[in-house]
Structure 1
Amino acid sequence: MSYDRLTHPLVRENGVLRQASWEEALERAAEGFRRNVAEHGPDCFAMLSCARSTNEMNYVGQKFTRVVIGTNNVDSCNRTCHAPSVAGLSAVFGSGGGTSSYQEVEDTDVIVMWGSAARNAHPIFFQHVLKGIRKGARMFAVDPRRTGTAQWADLWLGLNVGTDIPLAHAVAREIIHAGLHNEAFIERATSGFEEFKESVEPWTLSVAEQVTGVPAAAIRELAHSYARADRAQLCWTLGITEHHNATDNVRALINLSLLTGHVGRYGSGLSPLRGQNNVQGGGDMGAIPNRLPGFQDILDPGIRARFESAWGRPIQPRYGHNLTEMLEAMAEGEVTTCYLIGENPVQSEADSLACIKRLSMLDHLVVQDIFLTKTAQMADVVLPASAAWCEADGTFTNSERRVQRVRKALEPPGEARDDIWIMCEIARRLGHDWHYDGAEEVWNELRALSPQHTGMTYQRLADLQGIQWPCPSEDSLEPPYLHGRLWENDPSKRGTPAPFAVLRHSPPVDLLDDEYPLRLTTGRRLDSYNTGVQSSGFASPLRRGETVELCPEDAERLGLTEGEEVRITSRRGSVTAPVYIDPALRPGLVFMTFHFPDEVDTNSLTIEATDPISGTAEFKAAAVRVEKLVKAG
């Protein structure tokens, strides 16, 4: 399916979307919100903000939710991918951003890419990795598949899906038993080491080999290389975070950095790689249910008071629903109206059939987007917005916490309007006379409330070609890495010690058995983008549509040939796709993407089991079977 840009507002009449004027569409949107809040209270409302739109748009979106509606039920696609990274890093260090800059990957000695097919999913970052390799850095790739990233590695550790914690524990135990842990750093900057040391003791190299499938010699080599390195970078993506125990996975990797002192210094750090252009910025702007802009805890009375004074409205002193909880609340009839901006949960959420059912239970759904997505097709009101990267002024924040300016280059097509203008018009109809004279005014309001952004004027961002947070004043420029405080000699300057985590192994929820004997894991390809809305309408020499990828051994055992159509079935759904035989896979492992849901809805197979801390679903570990299609006649 090729998606065309939305150029006019749409409203639903007699079950069908029809073209409408802006006045009618805005009135319909506002009236639906007003009616539901009046009947059910503000917590019946939920907003999904957009991780591909500007910081300014996300700031106004969360402000709309908290001020105009009066709830903290706001979230973004950060929940689908890196909420566990934010949760894990925040629990240890107090902030949810990656600790290092891209440049440091070029200037390090060891790079560990754990659960990250960065060559396909993060090609810009991977160029920095390649520069580091050319300068002499060793790279280790930890992934169930021998991906394009793994092909550049000195060593590939092909682990069984869902065994990241046992592998990390075995690496930690080997470091400790070899006497390679950084005792001085542990004593100076951490807490809970003895309990952690005891917890990893059962994970010998031989035990870990049996559980993870990684040879003991490979585990030992990773442990010794990482610990002995003067500087080391540990990078991860969705192979770590899209599991039912994802925050524990992140904490297991952080444990390794604390054990070796590979954090808080130039060239050593922890990098969760974001998959969209403003996932980091969406969270920084407060488009999450438990933090105000600047990642400030909404439960802190002093912080709330500052925002209430600036915004002129009280803020609920409790956390709102995250995306997973929003969907559950829709099923219970507690969330009855939803405002979705640039998100397509019908095609991006795990167990997509359940997601469709829950959205269909809403009384009022408003979608603001640039295309008529499958989610927009379910809406009562569709509002055509401007595209983020070329039709709007503002800023983005990338994976290294760098805030960068973007400038409007094109006018949006037809009657499409700026996201901020749309939200302000709805707010005005709900009794809030909002007027912003451009994105810079929004940004300056944010700077006044967020200490980590205070020094980032538009002029400084332009002059310096971007600034990493924190930037507390207009004459400050902090180091490119975070948490240098951990290395301070003066205890009063070190702050709270970074705690080790005691963690247990928890296998994938969707168990393999005789009926569902294969493990499906999902991911991205280089030439396609997320649910395909922005990339599937364009010709590509690489694009081959969706396939189900099998190793040669499994294809032979099942009697399948490349290109043959097969049925893939899980405990939740069933799809058909052609076979692609890939020697990068190991026996028992199946790989599919989610780029072509109009052709093959891969997420109808995935399981909705979620991480209890972050709310992220286990996209990476579904149990399936693959069968030949029986031809009629």
Structure 2
Amino acid sequence: MTNSIEDIEDANCILIIGSNTFEQHPLIARKVVRAKEKGAKIIVVDPRKTITAKNADLFLQINPGTNVALINGLMNVIIKEGLIDEEFIKNRTKGFEDLKKVVEKYTPEYVSKICNISPELIIKAGKMYGSAERSSILYCMGVTQFTHGVDAVKALCNLAMITGNIGKRGTGVNPLRGQNNVQGACDLGALPDVFPGYQKVNIAYEKFEDLWGVELNNESGLTIPEMIEKAGKEIKCLYIMGENPMVSDPDINHVEKALKSLDFLIVQDIFLTETAQLADVVLPAACWAEKDGTFTNTERRVQKINKAVNPPGEALEDWIIIKKLAEKMGYKELFNYNSPRDVFEEIRKVTPQYAGITYERLGVDGIQWPCPDENHKGTPILYTEKFLTPDGLGNIFPVEYKEPDELPDKEYPFFLTTGRIIFHFHTGTMTRKCEHITNEINEGFIEINLEDAKKLGIKNNDLVKVSSRRGEVIVKARITEDIKKGVVFMPFHFAETPVNKLTNPALDPNCKIPEFKVCAVKIEKI
């Protein structure tokens, strides 16, 4: 997030796109509610009329995969209506004239045909966002999990920059992370092309060779989908830690075949997940309440966690497991950590954004990076004076709308989109073992529009077969007016009705994220 969670309530307008914030980030949703109570206008963009959409002042129920067209349409309206921040564009950015040329064709009438919403809604949304003194953007995986997800994020950044909604309270481009320490994992190098602190592997490798006293590969590694694709071929062994691709990855039939073709599979987790059941060796790990360390949340806040109870049985904290493995492999001197604090001291040493953060300074509230030295208070808002570019200017990157990799046709006439529900977390590894939660819901479903259901002869709770070009799933139907006609929705928490048997493994060419949020399916009553 460029901004902080707390200053969301200072926004005069909040654009929520590709995020069911009220179900998936309820504490952040409280800030949205407070902003609304202060008079802020809420715009929600989603193919489903979620609980978030029902709390909006303006709801744009677009076709899945058309985010880029819509955002370009909003900028077309804002430029035409003279709602740009000319001073911010002139002094803080470059590339506006190119953007202006690109979005010129994205008139409300043109965009309405792509998104399947009225031109009037696009005009109203553009004016609402552009005329507000402080506008904030909240987005989640309904923006990123497409073959053009990077383009959509660039478009949102363009929107914020041309209206001057960067670098002050109540504004910004604010991704809401899908899990509690995704930000921290990325910060510390859990990406294939960077070391900790987003230092590029091909540039910073010598620095880390000197630090660790070993020779390092200076080429970028593979993303998860690329690893699965090469499993059993170039890759003979996988070590999977805290991940459950047998439920969470697209085209699960292919995933299962890939994992079974490995010479050796190691899974480190707190329960025997669907993926762990395929492993040659399972390493039992401690859960969040059974270890010390730090998490970094969605607003870049580094927070200390303290062990509440000891791990059960033979389970160990993750860092201890990794240390023991390293010692077995001959790296005892290099992994000479005796506590999580020792690990964190190295994090501070190699990660510029964390340099000024110490255990003592974290306290209860934590500190937001970047925090370059121990006298620095942390950074609640990024880019208040300049961007992190050589000339300090924000780069405006015009992007064109591209269709999703797979669209409905005669054989597979429906858009399928996937997501989460309020009662369960990710692949259900933890929440589906909690009786109070499973009493609420413990099975999958497919949401079908009322008119579509009538044509198919499907009633509420009927069993239906949902098929794509990759597989099929039998699941109960949930008939509703809250989903767009021609679109169906399934949550991905339930291994018994694995929606990711259906989803498309096509990747964004830039970040290699799969297109979870749209594929073509057919539905048959059983």
More deviation, 208-217/615-624: 208-217
Structure 1 position 220, deviation (Å): 1.1
Structure 1 unaligned regions, length at least 5: 1-97
C-alpha distance in 1 between matches for 2:19 and 2:121: 18
2-side partners of 1:305 and 1:496: how far apart?
Answer: 27
Q: Distance in 2 between matches of 1:135 and 1:248?
A: 33
Q: Is the 8 A contact 1:278 1:398 kept in 2?
A: yes
Of 408, 411, 414, 1:518 maps to 414
Q: Partners of 2:172 and 2:472 in 1: how far apart?
A: 42
The counterpart of 1:446, out of the listed 347, 358, 365, is 347
**Aligned partner (choices 216, 219, 230) of residue 318 of structure 1:** 219
1:160 and 1:486, CA in 2 relative to 1: closer, same or farther beyond 3 A? same
Corresponding position: 1:618 with 2:515: yes
Matches within 5 A, 1:576-615: 576-597=474-495, 599-615=496-512
Matched, 1:209 2:112: yes
Q: Which amino acid aligns with 1:361?
A: S
**C-alpha RMSD of the superposition:** 1.5
Shift of 1:494: 8.4
Aligned with 2:377 (options 477, 481, 487): 477
Identity across aligned pairs (percent)?
A: 40
- 2:207 alignment partner in structure 1: 306
1:151-550 matches, within 5 Å, as 151-300=54-203, 303-330=204-231, 333-387=233-287, 389-433=288-332, 434-462=335-363, 465-486=365-386, 495-539=391-435, 540=437, 541-550=439-448
On the 8 A contact 1:189/1:494 being kept in 2, the answer is no
Please tell me whether the aligned partners of residues 390 and 409 of structure 1 are also in contact (alpha carbons under 8 angstroms).
Answer: yes
8 Å CA contact retained: 1:548, 1:580: yes
Q: How do 1:89-104 and structure 2 match up within 5 A?
A: 98-104=1-7
| 8 Å CA contact 1:115, 1:237 repeated in 2 | yes
TM-score calculated relative to the size of structure 2: 0.97
Q: CA deviation at 1:544?
A: 4.9
* 2:453 matches 1:552: no
Q: Is the 8 A contact 1:404 1:461 kept in 2?
A: yes
User: Can you list the C-alpha shifts for 1:369-406, whole angstroms capped at 9, x where unaligned?
Assistant: 1111111111111111101x200000000110001010
- Code of the aligned partner of 1:567: K
1:538: Cα distance to partner?
2.4
Give the SS at the match of 2:380.
coil
Residues in 2 aligned to 1:628 and 1:448: alpha-carbon distance in whole angstroms: 60
Deviation digits for residues 568-619 of structure 1, max 9, x if unmatched?
111110010111112111210101001111x201100000011010110111
Distance 2:307 2:369 in 1: 24
Kindly indicate whether structure 1 or structure 2 has the higher relative contact order, using CA contacts under 8 Å at least 6 residues apart. 1
**Residue in 2 aligned with 1:65?**
none
Cα deviation for residue 542 of structure 1 reads 2.7
Q: What is the CA-CA distance between 1:474 and the residue it aligns to?
A: 0.8
Q: Which amino acid aligns with 1:131?
A: R
Stretches of structure 2 that go unaligned for 5 or more consecutive residues are none
Tell me the secondary structure at the aligned position of residue 299 of structure 1. Answer: helix
With normalisation by structure 1, the TM-score equals: 0.81
Distance (whole Å) between structure 2 residues aligned to residue 225 and residue 507 of structure 1 = 27
How far has the Cα of 1:511 moved from its partner?
2.1
Distance 2:205 2:383 in 1: 26
Q: Matched residues in 1 for 2:272 and 2:389: separation?
A: 53
C-alpha separation between the residues in 2 aligned to 1:178 and 1:128? 30
The CA distance in 2 between the partners of 1:485 and 1:296, in whole Å, is 23
Tell me which amino acid in the other structure corresponds to 2:308.
A
- Pairing 1:25-104 to 2, within 5 Å after superposition: 98-104=1-7
Instruction: Check conservation: 1:338, 1:362, Cα contact below 8 A.
Output: yes
Q: Which residue number in structure 2 is paired with residue 573 of structure 1?
A: 471
**AA partner of residue 532 (structure 1):** G
Query: 1-side partners of 2:175 and 2:447: how far apart?
Result: 26
Alpha carbons 1:143, 1:159 under 8 Å: kept = yes
Runs of 4+ in 1 over 6 A off after TM superposition: none
Work out whether residues 369 and 379 of structure 2, in 8 Å CA contact, stay in contact via their aligned partners in 1.
no
Secondary structure, counterpart of 1:383 in structure 2: strand
Q: Distance in 2 between matches of 1:513 and 1:358?
A: 29
C-alpha separation between the residues in 2 aligned to 1:232 and 1:495? Answer: 26
